[in-house]
Amino acid sequence: DIQMTQSPSSLSASVGDRVTITCRASQGISNWLAWYQQKPEKAPKSLIYGASNLQSGVPSRFSGSGSGTDFTLTISSLQPEDAATYYCQHYNSYPITFGQGTRLEIK
Amino acid sequence: QVQLVESGGGVVQPGRSLRLSCAASGLTLSTSIMHWVRQTPGKGLEWLAVISLDGNSQTYTDSVKGRFTISRDISTNTLSLQMNSLTAEDTAVYYCARESGSSGRAGWFDPWGQGTLVTVSS
């Protein structure tokens, strides 16, 4: 199985900050990577697919990059509503696996 | 608007069975690849199962293979997850999700249902 490792596990940042979350795959997955945002008591919401493609309706301050084994999710200017937990997910093959999540707190 | 609504969760004793349902609206299951994913505080998000576009193929993660069965009813546009031989490790929030895009081998999910909580406890 492909293991997905996110870092950091949690972070705290201020409104307006640039925030970067990293996801590493245990083997190459090309660009078959998605990012999700999850708020408390809610289902995950898709943000990015294909490592860098923004899902429709997602604010342009979110962006994704990477290929192979190393990927990043960047929020260019943090907003209060971005407080959430973020997950990466590979879809290179079955079984699909997720990162353990990064909890983002607003200072 | 595409909407998925899970139901059937609850408290069940170890060793017993439970059937979850996912009612779809705004999409047709006969033209969708559908998945079940669960979430626990300890293990995070865990993909469980997928049913193919034609409904004739199912793939499972090892931890539920032989115990869980994914199926769909085209007439009611409902996805199901039959869960047998439940253990405490199956305690989780269970989500159904539509595959929105694919690598040709597996896919990513949008939308997700709101989830239904399953608690396995005596």
- DSSP per position, A16-85: T--EEEEEEESS--TT-EEEEEE-TTS--EEEEETTTEEPTT--TTEEEEEETTEEEEEESS--GGG-EE
Q: What's chain A's length in residues?
A: 107
Q: Which chain B residue shows the shortest CA-CA distance from A41?
A: B114
pLDDT (0 to 100) of residue B48: 98
Q: Given a cut of 90, is residue B41 above it in pLDDT?
A: no
Q: How many CA atoms lie within 13 A of A22 on its CB side?
A: 5
User: Among all chains, which residue has been given the structure tokens 């490790």?
Assistant: B89
- A58 CA: distance to closest CA in chain B (Å): 13
pLDDT (0 to 100) of residue A81: 98
- A33 CA: distance to closest CA in chain B (Å): 8
Decide if B50 and A94 are in contact by the 8 Å CB cutoff: yes
Q: Does B105 touch chain A (CB under 8 A)?
A: yes
Pairing state between β B10-12 and B116-120 = parallel
Radius of gyration of chain A (CA): 13
Please list the residues that pair with B20 across neighbouring strands: B81
Q: Does B23 touch chain A (CB under 8 A)?
A: no
Mean pLDDT of B99-117: 95
A60 band by pLDDT with thresholds 50, 70 and 90: very high
| Contacts with B73 (C-beta within 8 Å, 6 or more apart), sequence order | B29, B80
Cis peptide, bond prior to residue B41, ω within 30 of zero: no
Which pair of tokens denotes residue A38? 């999850």
Q: Does B84 touch chain A (CB under 8 A)?
A: no
Q: How far apart are CA A47 and CA A52, in angstroms?
A: 10
Q: Which chain A residue shows the shortest CA-CA distance from B47?
A: A96
Q: Which chain A residue shows the shortest CA-CA distance from B110?
A: A46
Decide if B47 and A97 are in contact by the 8 Å CB cutoff: yes
pLDDT, tens digit, 9 for 90 and up, residues A70-89: 999 999 999 999 999 999 99
pLDDT (0 to 100) of residue B42: 80
- B98 CA: distance to closest CA in chain A (Å): 11
Decide if A34 and B108 are in contact by the 8 Å CB cutoff: yes
Lowest mean pLDDT of A53-62, B15-24, B35-44, name the range. B35-44
Q: Does B109 touch chain A (CB under 8 A)?
A: yes
Which pair of tokens denotes residue B108? 């990513």
B43 band by pLDDT with thresholds 50, 70 and 90: confident
B51 band by pLDDT with thresholds 50, 70 and 90: very high
Mean pLDDT of B37-48: 93
Q: What's chain B's length in residues?
A: 122
φ, ψ (nearest 5 deg) of residue B36: -120, 135
pLDDT, tens digit, 9 for 90 and up, residues A1-55: 999 999 999 999 999 999 999 999 999 999 999 999 999 999 999 999 999 999 9
Mean pLDDT of A63-70: 98
Q: Does B42 touch chain A (CB under 8 A)?
A: no
Average per-residue pLDDT for chain A = 98
Average per-residue pLDDT for chain B = 96
